Chains A and B, each alone.
Chain A
Amino acid sequence: MSAAAAPAAAATVKEPREILRVENLVKHFPITAGMFLSREVGSVRAVDGVSFELNEGETLGLVGESGSGKSTTGRLVLRLLEPTSGSVQFDGQDVLALEEAKLRALRGKMQIIFQDPYGALNPRKTVLETVAEPLLIHGRRWGPELHARVRELLELVGLASYHADRYPHEFSGGQRQRIGIARALALNPRFIVCDEPVSALDVSIQAQIVNLLQDLQEELGLTYLFIAHDLGVVKHISTRVAVMYLGRIVEIADKAELYARPLHPYTRALLSAIPVPRPGAGRERVILQGEVPSPINPPSGCHFHTRCPFAVAECRAVDPPLREVAPGHKAACHLVQPQTAQEGPRGP
């Protein structure tokens, strides 16, 4: 029994078709003071001019440390947060210009999977109610058809249909994550923001969920924006990877290219910081000094210059643009010129 589950997308993907275009996205959270007449005393520049595009069936990995603005970016794209400025085009529609009702209708097509499998499910709703909810919101009525659809979704994500009657607390973290995925798939979305979907799971469960996400992508022709801080997982699942630092994308490239030839000093540091499960690997490690500065008053010029081992005067003054240094490989660093792109920046 297969109801119309998958859009026939997977079959038709030949020519890469752009599904999402994000341009110069900015989100400033105002910091206010005062009780009655609150006035703005500053702002957290969570996302500070982010642009990227995504082709159908592709996975863009978005990596960064806490405070990099990666999760905020995911929410801005879905307009779960209102951007301060910028534009988001989803399948030719200007998402930010949509009025409330139209936006609601579009929500089924762009979904989100959350990090915390405990917080993402309403503890007072059964699995059936949780997975059926998006369908109910979008006009379906309770009945045998709806039950069948929920059952189908549960089986799609590797749960059994008798799970439908249970409450979230009866499930393990990995199973809850599956429930969240089933809910996100209910309305046949084409694009899913995966916000650290495996970070809160145990190692042996992570792989199960990563595999599930990959299978679903293949089967349903999904496009992912995969947000994570674990570069290993991102490397595994992504087709392209973008690295964020303090609200900006500092480097974006095809996966193989980025991991083989990281150009931005931050990307290099990030890659070298990961402990490798191979004793005596003895790699050259770039240990960054200091910590990520506050996004309330980010450093002038290149946001990374305060920690960059290669920073020169120009970095403090001028904000480097994200420019193409090799085909499909963009980096935002003054020291990475298209001609030097082979080596990347060298120490002074």
Chain B
Amino acid sequence: MSEPLLSVRNLKTVFKTEDGQFAAVDDVSFELNEGEVIGIVGESGSGKSVTALSIMGLVPNPPGRIAGGEIRFEGRNLLELPEREMRRLRGGRMAMIFQEPMTSLNPVFTVGDQLFEGIIEHEGVGKRAARDRAVELLDKVGIAAPAERLDQYPHQMSGGMRQRVMIAMALACNPKLLLADEPTTALDVTIQAQILDLLRELQEEFRMAVIMITHNLGVVAEFAHKVMVMYCGRAVETAPVGELFERPSHPYTQGLLRSIPHLDHEGARLRTIKGTVPSPFALPPGCRFAARCEHARPACAEAEPPMIGVVPDHEAACIRLTGYRHDLTRATEPVA
């Protein structure tokens, strides 16, 4: 098999604050092939957004810094590229969209101006050609009357419309990799459905690889091919999407899945994960989830559990899986 489009190895990104230093992303590895969609799931403080920023080379420095690991994209280690090269890649071969499009669009320029900028810079075309291309892009992302919209300012648009503009900007240079950081979290459900639909269409059409960062397991289930669950800066479980929902193997993943009230959920009480996410400055020794885990045992506090294979492509960082091979006929609970 050829080299994957993106391969992240042992990524470690640290932040220095007044209260000390902590690793927002700690030893995270994953791979992504062309045209593949990975969902990165986690709660606030899990390091999912910092993972994306690290790949884009956008970690604010200071206070942040990539302290170790390797990010290979199309055969090159991004961490060794000079900033000039990185800038060429960003908005070219890889692009990113954010949760709040209002803050990522400049309020004093028209939508058109902001679109042209990227097109002219990355494609080296003239203003007129850029305008044509911009109209084409807005049309592509489902904006009606694109030529008129080009002359509007971001504040004249609704949230869903702005997110479409952001997607158009990201698409401007046919990226091979799109990073979407909670792209629908700020939107209403009906608009979220529109945007997800649009993203899926575009992803298939352009065979883009997508990193979808979200806290919403529903979005992951509908959109991603594979999933990485993060907790306190570490990946705790990776699996193909069907596998993950069918056989969640890390107690945190299991807890997450159980605590969401879905539409087809019945029953009087939700099952919860007890306690709260620990402070990044006071991480417990060993497994970071142990204090909240209903299966915790003394050994959990001794060492950070490595990723252990459940079935091919499905790994989880839980010592209960040690020496265990999944009985494929069994459904959820990996250990009796």
Contacts and interface: CB of A to CB of B under 8 A. Distances in A.
A203 B189 contact: no
Given A273-B190, A275-B216, A232 B261 contact: yes
Contact of A277 (B158, B260, B274): B260
Nearest to B222: A275
A277 B220 contact: yes
Interface residues of A, number: 41
A236 B259 CA distance: 11
Interface string A160-186: 000000000000101100000000000
B190 A279 contact: no
B272 interface: yes
Interface residues of B, number: 45
A279 B189 contact: no
Contacts of A214: 268-269
Contact of B221 (A202, A203, A231, A278): A278
B257 interface: yes
B245 A279 contact: yes
B290 to A, nearest CB: 15
A273 B222 CA distance: 11
Contacts of A174: 276
Contacts of A89: none
A210 B265 CA distance: 14
Contact of A65 (B43, B189, B223, B256): B189
A214 B269 CA distance: 8
A65 B188 contact: yes
Contacts of B197: 285, 287
B194 interface: yes
A211 interface: yes
Interface in A12-31: none
Interface string B244-284: 01000000000111011111110011111110110000000
B276 A271 contact: no
Contact of B259 (A175, A206, A235): A206
A206 B261 CA distance: 9
A261 interface: no
A232 B265 contact: yes
B21 interface: no
Contact of B192 (A207, A232, A273): A273
Contacts of A297: none
B259 A204 contact: yes
A288 B194 contact: yes
A203 to B, nearest CB: 6
A321 B50 CA distance: 50
B279 to A, nearest CB: 9
A275 B259 CA distance: 16
Interface string A217-239: 00000000000010111011100
A277 B193 contact: no
Contacts of B241: 279
Given A175-B276, A207-B259, A233-B261, A275 B188 contact: no
A85 interface: no
B143 to A, nearest CB: 11
Contacts of A3: none
A208 interface: yes
A208 B272 contact: yes
B236 to A, nearest CB: 13
A66 interface: yes
B221 A172 contact: no
B161 interface: yes
Contacts of A280: 242
Q: Which of B158, B194, B257, B261 has the most CB of A within 10 A?
A: B261
Contacts of B63: none
Contact of A287 (B43, B193, B221): B193
Contacts of B161: 291
A269 B105 CA distance: 30
Interface string A277-300: 111110001011001100000000
Nearest to A206: B259
A276 B265 contact: no
A157 interface: no
Contacts of B276: 172, 174-175, 205
Contact of B189 (A206, A237, A270): A270
A147 B218 CA distance: 44
28 contacts: A65-B188, A65-B190, A65-B191, A174-B276, A202-B43, A203-B215, A203-B259, A204-B43, A204-B255, A204-B259, A204-B277, A206-B260, A208-B274, A211-B272, A231-B189, A235-B263, A272-B193, A273-B190, A273-B193, A274-B189, A275-B196, A276-B221, A277-B220, A277-B245, A279-B245, A280-B242, A287-B193, A287-B197
Given A276-B264, A277-B217, 6 more contacts: A174-B276, A202-B215, A232-B262, A232-B263, A276-B262, A291-B158
Interface of A: 65-66, 172, 174-175, 202-208, 210-211, 214, 229, 231-233, 235-237, 259, 269-281, 285, 287-288, 291-292
Across the A-B interface, the 3 shortest Cβ-Cβ residue pairs: A275-B218, A207-B259, A65-B188
